[in-house]
Amino acid sequence: MIRVGNLDVSIARRKVYEVGVPIDLSSRALELLLMLVEANGSLVRKSDIMKAVWPDTVVEENNLYVHVAAIRKLLGDYRDMLVCVSGRGYRLNFETQSIKSSGIEEVVSTSPIRKFAPPVSNTTLFGREKALTDVRSLLQQYAVVTLVGAGGIGKTRIAVEVAHKLSRDFCDSVLFVDLAQLTEPTTVRTIVSEAMGEVETVGISGWRKHNAAMHSMLIVLDNCEHVIEAATRCVENLIATKPGVRVLVTSREPLRAQGEVVFRVEPLDIGPIGVFSDVPPLPSSVEMFLDHASCIDLRFGRDAASVRRISRICQRLDGLPLAIEIASARAAVLGIEALADAIGDRFNNLSGGHRTALPRHQTLNATFDWSYNLLDVNEQKVFRRLGVLHRPFDISDACIVAADSEMTEADIVDAICGLCSKSLLADDVTRTKREHRLLETARSYALLKLEDNGERGVTEQRCELLEYGKSHRAPRVQLNCVPPRRI
């Protein structure tokens, strides 16, 4: 792999990557880029380019300029690396050197590398003081700490804050690796190696250090759920070969890696259910709502009636930070009353997250789509069918509501366990039993999916039979019995 600015070029595979993600480059532009890379900084004449890229066709030089422009666009801040020598040809302004290690040739580029510093956040973090303290404490005791929670609950925000606070403890050796854009699990190892400033040696386990003095390091692996197995293997290899490394992971489910401890990120405080106070101290969800709305419109109202309405909205949004962030932006434009009316159809009305956010964090619907699409078929079935249950439920309730001819009871139990692991079900634990429930936002999404799959009617009938059986304390089978004939 050869580094060209922000791109990684594999001549053998004839592929180009950016942050480990394959780039869809036209065949002509790819051929041109490979020629320039193979020239190793030497000039490639226009005539040679034209013969190689268009071997059987006579074309104007304008065609060449189009592909040169495409490559420069991909290079972004490194566009000046592609140099045009007027009237003669093109060259890449970089040098490479080959290193032989264990019989395997590696190529190291001297062009600038990407930075992996934690991003800087200029927003206030509400209601996370205890979480920050707990995570920092866990990182002192365990090699791997995974922040687990539903999409939009604030895992990345907590990880970034912890990384900044621990930068001094780790002598500023704190790396932030975002895996959100990766589509190939095999590239996880590559991007982590790059972040550590090390060359990945194909076929050899472990990493070879370039800086022997770097013995203490914190690596934040953000958004691991879609490459969970590759991330797990990478993390286990890291902690096995580098005792001084600590890894902070964010994911919607645990890695289940050796040496891992799981920290479940909870929603923001919403106060007692059904109680809408306007007296300080306000719940952290309400404080966040007011802060974000005021940033959009300084005239945003903080009167007692508005604060009580905001408290009600935050409870309906389950204290989910992403939902509150989007809702507060809408409230600053529509007003509190209009927003309260729109919450019932939250998946159509709550959109417009930060422009620079990941696409799945710009609308509430996209956030849940991301999680839903990562489920297997049985987990999807059970999740959407559980949407008809308004109250906490146990495994037996779930089996009645979610049952069909294709799933056994064991399949449903496995799906329930998977949904809990992937942060789509919340637990209600009492002294005598453990029950589960869908938060209101998740339940609204499940009902939409149930409707889309044409299953709402029959699933609601099962739910009605379940409730009837509970209220009458009657065996379920009696509900379908033929009534006795009158004599």
Per-residue confidence at 431, pLDDT binned at 50, 70, 90? low
C-beta of residue 130 within 8 angstroms of C-beta of residue 22: no
pTM (predicted TM-score): 0.71
Per-residue confidence at 236, pLDDT binned at 50, 70, 90? very high
- Say whether 375-479 and 2-97+105-109 share the same fold: yes
What DSSP character marks residue 138? H
Q: CATH class for domain 129-264? A: alpha beta
How much is the pLDDT for 63?
81
**Position of tokens 């973090």?**
125
How much is the pLDDT for 481?
35
How much is the pLDDT for 351?
63
Q: What are phi and psi of 128, to 5 degrees?
A: -120, 15
Residue 118 in this model has a pLDDT that exceeds 60 = yes
Question: Which of left, alpha, beta for 223 (phi over 0: left; psi -120 to 50: alpha)?
Answer: left
Report the pLDDT averaged over residues 213-235.
88
Residue 286 in this model has a pLDDT that exceeds 60 = yes
How much is the pLDDT for 486?
39
Distance CA 379, CA 411 (A): 9
How much is the pLDDT for 60?
78
Report the pLDDT averaged over residues 15-35.
84
Mean pLDDT, the chain, as a whole number?
82
How much is the pLDDT for 114?
46
Per-residue confidence at 212, pLDDT binned at 50, 70, 90? very low
Domain 2-97+105-109 belongs to what architecture?
Orthogonal Bundle (1.10)
Give 342-375 as a DSSP string.
HGGGHHHH-B---TTS-GGGSBHHHHHHHHHHTS
Q: What are phi and psi of 153, to 5 degrees?
A: -90, -10
How much is the pLDDT for 373?
92
- Structure tokens that stand for 428 in this block: 């209600």
How much is the pLDDT for 47?
83
For residue 313, which of 347, 336, 335 has the smallest C-alpha distance?
336
C-beta of residue 14 within 8 angstroms of C-beta of residue 87: no
Per-residue confidence at 310, pLDDT binned at 50, 70, 90? very high
- List, for residues 119-171, the tens digit of each pLDDT value: 877 778 999 999 999 999 999 999 999 999 999 999 999 999 999 999 878 86
Per-residue confidence at 473, pLDDT binned at 50, 70, 90? low
Report the pLDDT averaged over residues 340-357.
66
**Fold (CATH) for 375-479:** Arc Repressor Mutant, subunit A (1.10.10)
Which sequence spans correspond to the domains of the chain? 2-97+105-109, 129-264, 284-365, 375-479
How much is the pLDDT for 96?
40
Report the pLDDT averaged over residues 19-36.
85
Residue 438 in this model has a pLDDT that exceeds 50 = yes
Distance CA 316, CA 304 (A): 19
Per-residue confidence at 102, pLDDT binned at 50, 70, 90? very low
Identify which has the larger pLDDT, 285 or 118: 285
- List, for residues 375-409, the tens digit of each pLDDT value: 999 999 999 999 999 888 999 999 999 989 899 99
Query: Using CB atoms within 10 A of its CB, is residue 340 exposed (0-12), middle (13-18) or buried (19+)?
Result: middle
Partners of 84 in the β-ladder:
90
Identify which has the larger pLDDT, 18 or 192: 192
For residue 213, which of 224, 229, 237, 197 has the smallest C-alpha distance?
197
**Position of tokens 């200029």?**
122
Q: What are phi and psi of 89, to 5 degrees?
A: 170, -150
How much is the pLDDT for 352?
57
Report the pLDDT averaged over residues 86-106.
56
Give 365-426 as a DSSP string.
HHHHHHHHHTS-HHHHHHHHHGGG--S-B-HHHHHHHH-BTTB-HHHHHHHHHHHHHTTSSE
Q: What are phi and psi of 242, to 5 degrees?
A: -135, 90
- Structure tokens that stand for 151 in this block: 């999409």
Report the pLDDT averaged over residues 366-376.
92
